Amino acid sequence: MDFKIQAVKLAKEIGGAKAIVELGIPENTMDAWTKAAREGRLDAGPGSHTPQTAMSLAEERPEV
């Protein structure tokens, strides 16, 4: 779950399209996670990530 939260935070910071590329995840996956966060089903909370931290997130990426 932590990867999803961090991915949504990154998308908020740099935009969804850039986050998708940085993290190497499918667009529909990011859309679902973002929607879940908006609806309160995924607590993204405050905070953000930069492109530099995206690289470490990409290494943690689960298979989707």
H helices of 1-64, in order, are: 2-14, 16-23, 27-38, 51-60
Q: How far apart are CA 40 and CA 15, in angstroms?
A: 20
Give residues with Cβ within 8 angstroms of 2, minimum separation 6. none
CA angle at 24 for the pair 34 and 60, rounded to the nearest 5°: 85
62 against 54, higher pLDDT = 62
- The pTM of the whole model exceeds 0.75: no
What pLDDT does 40 receive? 86
Q: Of 4, 2, 1, 3, whose CA–CA distance to 35 is shortest?
A: 4
- The per-residue pLDDT for range 36-48, each reduced to its tens digit, is 988 888 876 554 4
> What kind and span of H or E run contains 44?
none
